[in-house]
Chain A
Amino acid sequence: MTCSEAIKHFHEFMDKELDKSHYLIVKKHIDNCEDCHKKYTYEMNVRSLVKTCCAKTTAPVYLYGRIINSLDSVDFGVLKYTDREKNYQEKIFRTSFLSYPFTIAASILISIAGGIFYYAKYYQTDSTAIVENAVKNHVVAVNDNLVFNEKTSVVENINKYLGNTINTRLSNSSPFLNAEQVSIKEGMPVRSCGTSSPCVIFDKGGNKLSLQVVRKGSFPIANLERVQLGHKEFYIGNRQGFNSVLWEEGGVAYCLTSDLNKNEMLRFAATLTSQ
């Protein structure tokens, strides 16, 4: 074997990716050729320099605990809507209120309270909530598929954003949104976990986003961040690794959830609000 042949397989040799017979031939050459041996040592030294440097980076101590705690939220999320979870959510709800009495939480709670008040007063008679309207008028459940029927649409401002992409198979829709938590009640898709609000699932370029109305006791997101976009105020939060964007419109509080990045969701949320 010549030096150039050995060098050609240098990296594979060092990565132990050569088959055994080939490996031994290269090894024999490197052991016997002074120049190649020096090159080999140099390469190995550089590698260990980088490796040692990176191995010194360790995760901060608190991160372990933070992750373990957050696994709990997945465990709770997987459970059916039990009293235990209800308490858990209410606890977080209270916590967020107590920890930010004069700031963000207060303002979002006021908007939710507005929503609840509105809901209590008008929902029974004539709901104008985008979510409910969309679900009632355009989404039908067929063989476990949620099919958005564009042709029967009467809510213009939601229809134009949906295009013809809505044909969301519950079983195939993004597991990130826990679509299995969506069930059909009285012909309407409803999220069984977290809220009794109907849920519209948008398919935006392969990413699923769920939109629902926020109701009493069903708002388990702490640490909301307020964002102004145009004339509209939005609140951004994160729960179980999903981003949520909340806003209030016509006395109803909406919550959009997805694993998309915050800015993209914010832009999408802005297109859903009336101009």
Chain B
Amino acid sequence: MRDGEIRRREFEENAMAHLDSLYNMALRLVFIKEEAEDLVQETYLKAYRFFDTFQKGTNIKAWLFKILRNTFINKYRKTVNMPNEVFFEDIESVNVNPSYEQEAKSGESVDTLEKKYNDLGSLLDDEVKNALDSLPVEYREAILLSDVEELSYKDISEITNVPIGTVKSRLNRARGLLQKSLLVYAKDKGFIKKEK
């Protein structure tokens, strides 16, 4: 077999297995199906072109995610300005509902957790996705890479180009925000049900 054919086969066997993961991430980044498809296709083309630079034995999924991310930033940087951490903190402190803050300070009763989860259980997939999409892009990305794709902090730090400490703090913040956002959706839903 020629070198090119071996290379092609290796790529198809190793890289193509992550198509669904990449598509899922792309969709949560650009929201539109067609654009997500294009983004994933471009990612694979670039990956294939640079397949020689991939270090064998390292995590190919993480490598593909990094290419996806770079392609995304390159393609959409005019429209999506990735803001910095400080900016996010500002957003959060402005948007935080005072009742949540009080709740947190008074020490949340663990007994309500079960009820909370039951509320969340009633959420539809679209509502979970909406809650996820409402997060700032860097938090959304962190949640997807960690909680959905189960990549290590080290891999995430390499993909997103930030130190591991930043990955940790982003994840903590992202999870907190996501839970709040999910509960808001669940509450709205309960409210609507009661109205009827």
Verify A46–B148 contact, CB threshold 8 A.
Answer: no
CB of A142 within 8 Å of the partner chain: no
Q: A274 interface residue, CB < 8 Å from B?
A: no
Size of the B side of the interface (Cβ < 8 Å), in residues, is: 54
Residues of the A chain whose Cβ atoms lie less than 8 Å from the Cβ of B44: 67, 70-71
Interfacial chain B residues near A71, Cβ < 8 Å: 8, 11-12, 44-45, 48
Complexed CA–CA distance, A56 and B132 (Å): 15
Neighbour of B147 across the interface among A51, A59, A74, A263, CB < 8 A: A51
Residues of A within 8 A of B48 (CB): 71, 74
Q: Are B152 and A17 closer than 8 Å at their CB atoms?
A: yes
A15 touches B144 (CB 8 A): no
Question: Is A57 in contact with B23, judged by CB distance below 8 angstroms?
Answer: yes
Q: Please name all residues of chain B whose beta carbon is closer than 8 Å to the beta carbon of A67 when the two chains form the complex.
A: 16, 19, 40-41, 44-45
B24 touches A (CB below 8 Å): yes
Does any Cβ of A come within 8 Å of B128's Cβ? yes
Stretch at the interface among B54-62, B90-98, B117-125, B188-196: B117-125
Q: Does B104 contact A (CB under 8 A)?
A: no
Kindly identify, within residues 8 to 26 of chain A, every residue whose CB is under 8 Å from any CB belonging to chain B: 11-12, 15, 17
* Cβ-closest chain A residue relative to B22: A59
Q: Tell me whether A229 is interfacial, beta carbon within 8 Å.
A: no
Q: How far is the CA of A38 from the CA of B76 in the complex (A)?
A: 42
* Interface SS, B side: helix
Task: Kindly state whether residue A156 has any CB partner on chain B within 8 Å.
Answer: no
CB contacts under 8 Å to B, within A39-70, are 39, 41-43, 45-47, 49-51, 53-60, 63-64, 66-68, 70
* Complex alpha-carbon distance, A54 and B179, angstroms: 16
When distances are taken between beta carbons in the complex, the residues of chain A under 8 Å from B28 are 54
- Whether A163 is near chain B, meaning CB under 8 Å from some CB there, is no
* CB 8 Å contact bits of A101-130 with B (1 = contact, 0 = none): 000000000000000000000000000000
**Are B152 and A11 within 8 A (Cβ)?**
no
Q: Can you list 11 A-B contacts with CB-CB less than 8 angstroms, sorted by A residue number?
A: A39-B110, A46-B120, A53-B129, A54-B132, A54-B148, A59-B37, A63-B37, A66-B41, A70-B41, A259-B74, A261-B75
> Apart from A50-B178, A263-B78, what 11 extra A-B contacts exist at CB < 8 Å?
A15-B153, A42-B113, A54-B28, A54-B148, A59-B40, A67-B44, A67-B45, A68-B16, A71-B45, A75-B4, A261-B74
Interface, chain A (partner B; CB < 8 A) = 11-12, 15, 17, 34-35, 38-39, 41-43, 45-47, 49-51, 53-60, 63-64, 66-68, 70-71, 74-75, 78, 175-176, 240-241, 259-261, 263-264
* Closest 6 pairs between A and B when the two form their complex, measured CB to CB: A59-B23, A241-B45, A42-B113, A241-B42, A53-B128, A38-B110
